[in-house]
Amino acid sequence: MRARVRITGQLIDTTTGTHIWADRFDAALDDIFELQDQVASSVVGAIEPKLRQSEIARAARKPTESLDAYDLYLRALAEFYKRTGSSLRQAIELAKRALAVDPAYAPAAALIGWCLLEQFVQRWASGSEVERANAVHLARQAIETGKDDPDALAMAATTLSWFAGDHDAAVGAVDRALILNPNSVHAWRARGYMSVRQNRPEPALDAFHRAMRLSPLDPFAFSVTAGIAAAHLAAGRYDAAIEWADRSSREFPRYTLSNRYKVIALAHLGRMAEARAALERELELHPGLSIAAVKAMYAAGYAPELLAVFVEGYRKAGLPEE
């Protein structure tokens, strides 16, 4: 019979006595050193989102006049997590205030760029050339000033990869983030999406599944499952793409990307009635979407062959050209 061990961990805020996190880990005791690494990785991945939420709650309780750059950033992050048009605008304003306090504060610069990207993807803003150039500028600034901040590097890499198509710089930033924190869910998710954009579905799936194992209850789990859908879409596994897109939609029904991937996959499978129904849902959220808009949205950051899959899927589903 194989010897087994159970390890239980708890995290308590000693200033308030608040219970932040608890979990237990069961594993075979075949290799104690491998087990130590596995538990350490799992604990760090599970704690990080809970600890960040606790810090956000702490910042929200502070008087406005007592806020420093870090507190303003945490408040901005709380607004970003809400993922609405108005909350992203508020997140940008709070992050700008953080930069006014500390112009070299990389997380705030990276978050503004990421918010501008999310506004563009969700079609909550025009995504003009000026806005995209500003997002890219802030991403490069964050990479330059935040060399020791894995979260800032991961956020900035995502923006740089999508808006500028500068995958080399983005990959370099993510690689450094993972050196700093090998258990960074943000960095593994960013690596997954960058691999998708480069039409490298298998490395993308490896990164996304690593992110899921590290933090299965992460606030951005819906983004990871949508990324898995995108990777399967790139690989031509359309049934799997639909399955993961549906999972993402259940986790966050307003997330545009998961429904987009479903539309494209259904169309390529010839399930036209379902594809058109899914497209109607997207057009209800984002009227005015067209083939031209899709091309503009994905052209800079996505491999041409993957963009062609997207465009052809939308075209089959009946999306107008203009």
Per cent of the chain over pLDDT 70 is 81
Q: How far is it, in rounded angstroms, from Cα 315 to Cα 298? A: 15
Q: How far is it, in rounded angstroms, from Cα 289 to Cα 172? A: 33
Q: Residue 83 pLDDT more than 50?
A: yes
Displacement of CA 54 from its chain's centroid (Å): 20
| Homologous superfamily of the 64-182 domain (CATH) | Tetratricopeptide repeat domain (1.25.40.10)
pLDDT band (50, 70, 90) for residue 206:
very high
pLDDT band (50, 70, 90) for residue 163:
very high
Cβ atoms within 10 Å, residue 61: 7
User: Which distant-in-sequence residues (6+ apart) come within 8 Å of 251 by Cβ?
Assistant: 221, 222, 225
Q: Residue 256 pLDDT more than 80?
A: yes
The residue-averaged pLDDT of 194-216 equals: 93
- Tell me the average pLDDT of the chain: 87
The residue-averaged pLDDT of 276-289 equals: 89
Cβ atoms within 10 Å, residue 95: 29
Token reading at 89: 């605008």
Q: How far is it, in rounded angstroms, from Cα 195 to Cα 216? A: 21
Q: Residue 54 pLDDT more than 80?
A: no
Read out DSSP for 37-75? HHHHHHHHHHHHHHHHHHHHHHHHHS-GGG--HHHHHHH
Say whether 185-322 and 64-182 share the same fold: yes
Q: Exposed e or buried b for every residue in 19-39, given b needs 16+ CB within 10 A?
A: eebeeeeeeeeeeeeebeeee
Token reading at 103: 């112009």
pTM above threshold 0.75: yes
Token reading at 175: 């690689």
- In this structure, what are the phi and psi dihedrals at residue 113, rounded to the nearest 5 degrees? -60, -40
Give the chain's length. Answer: 322
Q: Residue 67 pLDDT more than 90?
A: no
Q: Residue 293 pLDDT more than 50?
A: yes
User: 296-307: per-residue pLDDT in tens?
Assistant: 889 889 999 999
Of 40-44, 63-67, 218-222, which gets the smallest average pLDDT? 63-67
Annotated domain spans of the chain: 1-61, 64-182, 185-322
Per-residue confidence (pLDDT) for residue 188, from 0 to 100? 95
The residue-averaged pLDDT of 244-249 equals: 96
User: Which distant-in-sequence residues (6+ apart) come within 8 Å of 238 by Cβ?
Assistant: 232, 265, 266, 268, 269
| Homologous superfamily of the 185-322 domain (CATH) | Tetratricopeptide repeat domain (1.25.40.10)
Per-residue confidence (pLDDT) for residue 7, from 0 to 100? 72
Per-residue confidence (pLDDT) for residue 229, from 0 to 100? 98
Q: Residue 181 pLDDT more than 70?
A: yes
From the list 9, 300, 282, the residue with the least C-alpha distance to 318 is: 282
Per-residue confidence (pLDDT) for residue 284, from 0 to 100? 87
Per-residue confidence (pLDDT) for residue 124, from 0 to 100? 83
Q: Residue 78 pLDDT more than 80?
A: yes
Q: Residue 183 pLDDT more than 90?
A: no
Per-residue confidence (pLDDT) for residue 255, from 0 to 100? 87
72 touches 238 (CB < 8 A): no
Grouping H, G, I as helix, E, B as strand and the rest as coil, residue 30 is coil
Q: Residue 66 pLDDT more than 50?
A: no
Say if strands 4-13 and 18-28 run parallel, antiparallel, or are unpaired.
Answer: antiparallel
The residue-averaged pLDDT of 33-57 equals: 63
Q: Residue 193 pLDDT more than 90?
A: yes
Q: How far is it, in rounded angstroms, from Cα 13 to Cα 56? A: 13
From the list 212, 213, 191, 217, the residue with the least C-alpha distance to 203 is: 191
